[in-house]
Amino acid sequence: MNTTEIFLIALLLIFSVPYLIWRGLRTEYYAPLVVVQIVCGILLGPGVLGAIFPAYYGFVFNPQVIGALNGVAWWAVMIFVWIAGIELDLKQAWASRVETGVTSGLALCVPLLFGSVAAIGLLRFPGWAGPDGQPWQVVLGIGMACAVTALPILVLLMEKLDILRRPLGQRVLRYASLDDIAIWGVLALILLDWDRVGRQVVFLVGFAVAAYAVRALMKRLEEKDRWYVGLIWLAACGFAGDWSGLHFMVGAFLAGAVLDSEWFDRRRMDLFRDHILLAVMPVFFLSTGLRTQWDMGGLAVFAAAGVLLVASVAGKLVGVHLAGRILKWEKGEASIIGWLLQTKALIMIIFANILLDKGIITNTAFTALLLMAVGSTMLTIPFVTPRLKRFAARAGA
C-alpha cells in the first residue's frame, strides 16, 4: 500500500473506533465522545496497540503517516485554542471583579500548590523530568496541569447539563476564563528562554503593534471577511510564537484573545467549534495517544496519575470551598462549581503536549498527566448531576 492508503486506514481507525465504543457502550453520562476519543488515542498508541500488535502498529503508524497526522493535528488544535481565546469574556469578569478574582485565584492557586507538592514527590524518582527541564519548570508545569480547567469542554458539558446560559453557568465561565489567562501566562514564564529572550521581546512588541492594527482592520470588515482574516492572523501568530521560542500554541491563544467575540456571530462560532471537534480534533487525540509511553511500567504510571488526580480534585474543591466561605455562597454552590471546574481534557492535554515538546517533562510524565486529565473530566458529570438536582430542589422550595 502507498502512504495515502495507509493514512486513510489510520483515519478510519481514528473516527470509527471511538464512535462505536461511545454509541455501543452508551458512555455519554460519564464519558462524552471527546473523552472516549482521548482514551482511544491512548489505546491506539504504542503502549497498548503497539505492544499487542507491534507489526500492525508499525505498518499503520509509520513515520510518513505520523508526519501527515501531526500536520492535521497542529492546525486543528491551533484553531481550537484560537476559538478559546476569542470566547474569553473579560468584560463580565471585570464587572464582577472581586467575586471573580477571589474565586478564580483560589480555584487556581490551591490545586497548583497541591499539584506542585505532588510533582516534588515525583522528582524524588528518575524518569519524570525531561532532558531540558529545570526542576522548577517541572514542578510548576505539573502543578499548573493539576490546576487547569478546559474552558471549551466546560462549555460543552454545561450545555449538556442545561446551565450554560443560566446565572450559575455564566459565573463558572467567568471563573474559568480568568484562570485561562493565568494558565497561558504561567506557560509563557515556564518557556522563557534566556538564550532566545531577544526574539521573545521582539515577538511581544511586534505582536502588540500588529494586534492594534488587526483590531482596527477587523472593525472595518464584514463578518464573513473577519473569519478569513482571523485565520491568516492565527497562522502568522502561530509562526511568530514558535519562532520566538514560546511555542505556536501561545501564539494561537494570543491571536484569539485580542479579538472581540462580538465581532463574530455566536451561532456560527458555536457551529465552527463543533465542526472542528467533529472533523479534525480526533486526529489530535490520536496523535496525543501516539506520544504515550509506559517506560517505567504501567503500575508506576497509573500510581503517579492517581496521585496527581487526588491533588487536582482535592485542590480544586478546597480552593472553591474557601471562596464560597469568603463570599458567603448558598449551600451546595461550592460543590457544584468545584466539580465543574475539574474539567480538564483538551486544554490540559495541549498544555502537557507543549511541556513535552520543549523537553520539560518525559513521555512517562506526559502519560500520567493524560490519564489524570481523562479521570478528572470523567468525574465531572456524575458528581455534578445529583448536586444540581438537590440545589434546584432547595431553590424551588
Q: What are 129's strand-pairing partners?
A: 361
Looking at residue 204, its pLDDT comes to 86
Of 86, 88, 254, whose CA–CA distance to 179 is shortest? Answer: 88
Rounded distance between C-alpha atoms, residue 381 and residue 154, angstroms: 10
Q: Which residue from 223, 255, 247, 241 is spatially nearest to 86, judged by alpha carbons?
A: 255
Helical (H) or strand (E) element with 187: helix 167-190
Q: Please identify every stretch of the chain with a pLDDT value under 50, giving residue numbers as ranges.
A: 397
> Which amino acid is residue 290, in one-letter code?
L
Single pTM value for the model: 0.81
Taking the C-alpha atoms of residue 316 and residue 112, their distance in angstroms, rounded to an integer, is 9
Cα 38–Cα 238–Cα 197 angle in degrees, nearest 5: 115
Candidates 365, 371, 373; CA nearest to 316 is 373
How much is the pLDDT for 296?
58
Task: List helix spans (H) across 26-89.
Answer: 33-43, 49-52, 54-60, 63-86
CA angle 102, 108, 113 (to 5 degrees): 120
pLDDT of residue 89: 65
Q: Mark residue 162 as left, alpha or beta (left: phi above 0; alpha: psi -120 to 50; beta: remaining).
A: left
3-state secondary structure of 129: strand
CA 310, distance to chain mean position in Å, is: 19
**What pLDDT, in 10s, does the model give residues 175-195?**
887 777 788 778 878 877 666
What is the rounded distance in angstroms from the CA atom of residue 203 to the CA atom of residue 185? 15
Say how many Å lie between the first and final Cα of the chain, rounded. Answer: 66
Using only the alpha carbons of the chain, give its radius of gyration: 21
Closest CA to 257 of 87, 96, 100: 87
Reported residue count of the chain is 397
Tens-digit pLDDT profile for residues 11-55: 998 899 889 988 888 887 777 787 888 888 888 888 788 888 888
Specify the 3-state DSSP secondary structure of 361: strand
Could you count the other beta carbons within 10 Å of the beta carbon of residue 305?
19
DSSP-based three-state secondary structure for 19: helix
47 vs 39: CA distance, rounded Å: 12
